A and B are shown apart, each in its own frame.
Chain A
Amino acid sequence: MKILLIDDNQDITTMFAKYFQLKGHDIHVSNGGQNGLQMIENGLFDVILLDLAMPDFSGHDIIDYLHKNNKLDHKIIISLTASSVSDDDKAYLIERGVHSVLRKPIDPDELLNYLMRVKS
């Protein structure tokens, strides 16, 4: 599975990169929103894991940009957030084409199982 993880926390991206690699998946990471957006536009990923709270260019900004430019089709974007998300926020994101919103911290085994289910 080709996965893109966008998160400003390097400990998190390093950990998940190791995990998915060891589980035999093709994992790409970005630690910034702008760079992450470029990677989304230039690459084909089975699933994109997107942190919502990032400085400068957040996950929300990425979603808004992709939505405005109709570039969300056929992309599976799963938002990750350590904050509590209100139903309104969730509805807003899903309306804009986000597949689902998951809460951090998340057990990597559970996340992988979820991704496998979503992809199939």
Chain B
Amino acid sequence: MRMTPTDQKNTGENLLNLTNQMGKILSALDESSLVAITDKHGVITHVNKKFCNVSGYSAEELVGKNHRILKSGFHPQEFYKDLWVTISGGHTWHGEIKNVSKHGQYFWVDTTIVPFLDSGSLSEQYVSISTELTDQKNTEENLLNANMQLRNAAKIQKENMELHMEFEKSKEKDTLKEEFSAMITHELKTPLVPIIGYCKMLKNKMLGELNGEQLESIDTIEKNAKRLESLISDIMDVRKLDLNKMKFTLEDLAIDNFFASLDSSYRQVLIEQGKEFITDAQIPSVVIHTDKIRLRQVFDNLISNAIKFIPDKNGKITVGCKNEGNKVVFYVADNGIGIPLESQQNLFQKFYQVDTSERRKTGGTGLGLAISKGIIEKLGGRIWVESDGKTGTIFYIEFDT
């Protein structure tokens, strides 16, 4: 069919009208939507003004770049895969996408992507039209975030409460344990007061004459009462060390004073038994920072152990100290029966006593060395033993200066 001039005019007018209408639609679209056209690889070939405004890029910056320049990293890989499968299959995709602008700001868009087949070049084009969702989405996200933070806060609060309650409980338990210890000590020691008191009065013959056998019996009662007393004290010390409740008062200790006091406590008593007690403070002017009552307790323990094992004839105990590098080393040495090598490693364990079948009865509590080790370690020092198992024993105590 041939076109008449009227037809041509009509067609021209129609085209004009159409172009007019298109122009109006496009400018309306510019107001409302982000428009982008990409090739089949996603390379941008056209963007409208709104797209530029929202994304922060100029059209020059965008054209020729892949659309993924706007990817925010928010969506998983599958999300984009699904999008590409849909549009490359010739179907329209519709969804919400979180993008990132040139300046790093996120913006949500409600997007429709329509694939077009260009019949001339047979290559596909994708046209996307999006409207901004940012405010709405931001509010949603903020709410979600706030909710999550609230939940976290509540969880932390709960955990804190639980921790606090546990802490309070353990504190309470410790206090109870301490109170129990104090009570036990009191209850166990109180009956010993009249026992030891009457033993003394009987031995002094304040309550009348006693024969030899009776005196011996009283001696045994008194000895065992005193042993019980040390056992109670030792058990309480072990408990304090275990519960980490032993209190230490650190002060300057002059070495010469310390050894002078040991000398006055032990030398005369041992001389009367025909034994020797020698002090050998090689560094008398040195002052160390420690708890002198507890250190003395350790020395009393080591010396009373030594007294039990030295021979009746020519028994000898030497206590002393020396400098070794930046350390002060104390020692208690005796010429007793020694400690076999296999026993040395267990020596500091509670209730461990070297097999005494062929040795004299020790009468100790079996706790002295465990307590000594505990005290020395709490004071920051080290204690160990050296013995060949035959001719004497040396205990060493070492502190940094």
Contact = CB atoms under 8 A, between A and B. Distances in A.
Q: Tell me whether A and B are bound partners.
A: yes
B197 A15 contact: yes
Contact of B193 (A22, A53, A105): A105
B189 A105 contact: yes
Contact of B190 (A9, A18, A19, A84): A9
Contacts of A104: 189-190, 192-193
B229 A107 contact: no
A82 B204 contact: no
Contacts of A19: 197, 200-201, 206
A109 B196 CA distance: 11
Nearest to B182: A83
Q: Give the size range of B's interface with the partner.
A: 20 to 34
Contacts of B195: 105
A86 B189 CA distance: 17
Interface residues of A, number: 23
A88 to B, nearest CB: 8
A23 B201 CA distance: 10
Contacts of A84: 182, 185, 233, 236
B327 interface: no
Nearest to A19: B201
A44 interface: no
A12 interface: yes
Interface in B213-234: 225, 229, 233
B194 interface: yes
Interface string A82-105: 111011000000000000000011
B198 interface: yes
A56 interface: no
A73 interface: no
Interface in A13-32: 14-16, 18-19, 22-23
- Residue among A15, A22, A53 with the highest chain B CB neighbour number at 10 A: A15
B197 A82 contact: no
Contacts of B207: 18
A12 to B, nearest CB: 5
A87 B206 CA distance: 37
Given A19-B206, A53-B186, A105-B229, A82 B193 contact: yes
Nearest to B187: A82
A1 interface: no
Nearest to A103: B189
A118 interface: no
A16 B193 CA distance: 10
Contacts of B189: 82-83, 104-105
A107 B223 CA distance: 12
B144 to A, nearest CB: 55
B200 A108 contact: yes
10 contacts: A11-B191, A12-B190, A15-B201, A84-B182, A104-B192, A105-B192, A106-B196, A107-B196, A107-B200, A109-B200
Give the top 10 A-B pairs by smallest Cβ distance, nearest first: A82-B189, A105-B192, A11-B194, A15-B197, A83-B186, A105-B193, A15-B194, A82-B186, A105-B196, A82-B190
Given A12-B194, A82-B189, A83-B185, 18 more contacts: A9-B193, A9-B194, A12-B197, A15-B194, A18-B207, A19-B197, A19-B206, A22-B201, A81-B186, A82-B186, A84-B233, A104-B189, A105-B189, A105-B193, A105-B196, A107-B197, A108-B201, A109-B200
